[in-house]
Amino acid sequence: MDGFVFIDELSWEAFNEGTRLKLSVENYKRRMGYYPQQVLADKIYCTRENRNYLKEKGIELRAKPLGRSKALSNQVRPGERNPIEGKFGQAKRD
């Protein structure tokens, strides 16, 4: 939603957030009534299991592809995730 952030889990304990991708996508569907068209993801979310899950759901993954670097048409551009990372910083301050 334009300008709104939903925090599904916030913890000061160490955990692998990549394991939460499916839950986040399903929570999105529950809130909005449909799956997102695309997911912008850091490297930690880009496991083969998560990639397969998104592919099954018809959701485009905007992240660095597996394998050697080549022409990267679907990669997240520098600065594209800045608003998302900024919200993490805000949550840690409050």
Quick one: pLDDT at residue 2?
Answer: 65
Residue spans per domain, the chain:
17-93
Backbone angles phi and psi of 37, in degrees to 5 = -75, -35
d(CA 19, CA 74): 22
CA proximity to 48, closest of 21, 35, 60, 66: 66
d(CA 88, CA 57): 27
Would you say residue 82 has pLDDT above 80? no
- pLDDT tens for each residue of 36-70: 999 988 888 889 999 999 999 999 998 877 776 66
Tokens encoding 41: 């993801």
d(CA 21, CA 88): 16
pTM of the predicted structure, to 2 decimals: 0.67
